Amino acid sequence: MPFGVKPFPDNSGRFYDFDKVYRVIIQRAIRESGLTPVRADERVSSAIIHGEMFRDLRDRSVVLVDLSLDNPNVFYELGARHVMSSTGTVLMCRKGSILPFDVTLSRVIFYDFDGTSLDWEEVERVVSLLKVALLQAHKGQPDSPVHALLETVIREKELGAKISGVEVVPEKAPDGEPAERYQQIVADAWRASGESIESLFDQHRGSTFGCRTLAYLCLTTNCTEDVTRRLANHLSDGQQYRLANQLYKRMDDEGRLTGRALLAYASSYSEACPNLPGAKHALGIAERAAAAVERDYGPTFDDSNANADAVEAYAECYRRIAGLRQWYWQLTEDAGDLDRAIHAFDDAVLWNHRARITGRLKHPGFLAQARLKLLLLLRVKDNNPERPDKEGHGRAIIAVENKDDDDDKGPSYLGWYQAIVLADQGAAEESRQMALKTRIYDATLRADPSHWEIGRRQYRQLRRFLEQYLPFLCNHSLIGKISQELQRGTES
């Protein structure tokens, strides 16, 4: 905050006593919250930027910021804090101030002060609000819009390669690389015990360490196709792509990988190898699956008498291929690849809609996702975030309803896509309510190991999606609030 008495910037001759705000409001609120107030000028000279100040901004569990009078040093220090810490920042400001857009994602506590005199009732009100905010901040409540909107904040070469605006972090074992050695030791012990892999999978599927250990066991043992496929899918959901791909490849080399498993392999491979050669290889895997569907059901048929199994198979193929086409275009940034991605999503929307009508699509989020991506890719093609949605994708996403026999994860994915569309349309309260409702629903799923991507891999992918397409989404402040909800859910 500024120190001492500062003139109002309107040349009115009035002065603003920041020391009074600090003494009467800030110090009291901090102490009553069980914390200790430390102001920067009490530690270092305000004329020189010291490392000690930056260490405080990085390391203090709570930083309180007074944005009154638009002091540039204060905004500079707030920016540093938001980059260096995802949590623990509380904002306050004089009533009547017009804050810059970049701050609007954050909650601000406004107080009434004419620069000289503080009303007793106003002091009581503000101290009460600040105490609540300080306690929440001290508990680690995420509040940085930087960390909410960016999947990876600091660009460092050792964190991975930068691809189309997204930092790709290499996969690590749950406890670092040394864990791999112990997983192999445990795998040897399990092998010696003679217990079936099916039983071990049921016991340990909720643990990343356990699932990785099972992968090492499965790679050196003759496992059934069913358990190998289930384990590979589970590892992929848990972002353990390298081991998942070893299992997929083993089944593929043995001629045991077909249909949906091939499509899952394609997606997992693209995540593990996030570069152009990886995207090409993943597309090749997915197109092998599509060719198999054509052999089984024919390349074209009238949807009025289409076999329900065929509709379901085509819906799955086109959905996966569309996502890979989108990723391929993001790597090449080629207009032709964008057109191919749009065409693929047209097919994905068509077939997933048919599958939903026939009752074979139990995951309504798949249809909502395809429509939302198509809506945004059309905006990208026209280079116009305000492009009219004449195809009606936004309305169709909002209109999708959950059914009693849907997959348990369906309402989660659908809810987030609907919240994004509502935010894009400017429906602030409806978007907030949908995001909150969905995060509460997700909390009921997270305890079940079969849904372990919910709130984890899922939330990171949704935040990555928002970061990538933010330039072509409307109402960024509302989109940012959704990203903050996802961040809170991921870290809770």
What is d(CA 231, CA 226) in angstroms, rounded to the nearest whole number? 9
Which domain-ending residue is among 96, 118, 149? 149
Q: Model-level pTM?
A: 0.72
Examine residue 89 and state whether it is found in any structural domain, yes or no: yes
Q: Which pLDDT value is given to residue 480? A: 85
CB-CB neighbours of 175 under 10 Å = 12
Contact 267, 323 (CB under 8 A): yes
Tell me which amino acid residue 298 is.
G
Q: How many CA atoms lie within 13 A of 344 on its CB side?
A: 26
- The H or E element containing residue 89 is strand 89-94
pLDDT score at 17: 96
pLDDT tens, 391-444? 999 999 999 999 999 999 999 999 999 999 999 999 999 999 999 999 999 999
- Answer whether residue 395 is part of any domain: yes
DSSP class of 333: -
Query: Which amino acid is present at 199?
Result: S
Pairing relationship of beta strands 166-167 and 89-94 according to DSSP bridges: unpaired
Residue 342 has a pLDDT of: 97
Sign for the CA dihedral angle at 23, 25, 28, 31 comes to negative
Q: Is residue 195 part of a domain?
A: no
The pLDDT assigned to 43 comes to: 63
Residue 302's pLDDT is: 54
Q: Which of 247, 289, 244 is nearest to 270 (CA)?
A: 244
Residue 377: other Cβ atoms inside 10 A: 23
Name the residue range of residue 98's domain.
5-149
Are the C-beta atoms of residues 232 and 256 closer than 8 Å to each other? Answer: no
DSSP run (H or E) holding 91: strand 89-94
Structure tokens at 282: 């993943």
Q: Which residues have C-beta within 8 Å of that of residue 470, sequence separation ≥ 6?
A: 149, 476, 479
88 in a domain, yes or no? yes
d(CA 211, CA 30): 45
Which of 149, 179, 196 finishes a domain? 149
DSSP annotation of 23: I
C-alpha span between 111 and 29 (Å, rounded): 13
Surface-to-core class of residue 292, CB atoms within 10 Å of its CB (0-12 exposed, 13-18 middle, 19+ buried): middle
Give the CATH number of the domain where residue 37 resides.
3.40.50.450
Q: Are 359 and 326 in contact (CB under 8 A)?
A: no
CA distance 118 to 477: 32
**What pLDDT, on the 0 to 100 scale, is given for residue 170?**
44
Domain total of the chain: 2
> What would the pLDDT profile of 80-100 be if each residue is shown by its tens digit?
999 999 899 999 999 999 888
Q: How far apart are CA 235 and CA 243, in angstroms?
A: 7
- Cα–Cα distance for residue pair 482/469, rounded to 1 Å: 14
Alpha helices in 333-405 (DSSP H): 335-357, 364-382, 393-399
Q: Is 226 inside any structural domain?
A: no
Q: Phi/psi zone of residue 14: left (φ > 0), alpha (ψ -120 to 50 degrees), beta?
A: beta
Contact 85/141 with Cβ under 8 angstroms? no
pLDDT value at residue 173: 45
| Nearest residue to 434 via CA among 408, 400, 387 | 400
CA of residue 374 relative to chain centroid, distance: 19
Q: Specify the DSSP element, H or E, that contains 316.
A: helix 308-332
Name residues of the chain where pLDDT drops below 70. 43-51, 155-178, 300-306, 491-492
In a domain, 106, yes or no: yes
Domain membership flag for residue 392: yes
Distances (CA, A) of 178 to 183, 184, 190, 266: 9, 11, 19, 28
CB atoms within 10 A of CB 344: 25
User: Interhelix angle for 457-469 vs 410-424, to 10°?
Assistant: 20
Spatial neighbors of 239 by CB under 8 A, at least 6 apart, are 171, 271, 456, 457
Identify whether 94 is part of a domain.
Answer: yes
Closest CA to 101 of 75, 137, 73: 75
Nearest to 324 by CA among 293, 365, 290: 290
Cα separation, 222 vs 218, whole angstroms: 7
User: Is the distance from CB of 19 to CB of 4 less than 8 angstroms?
Assistant: yes
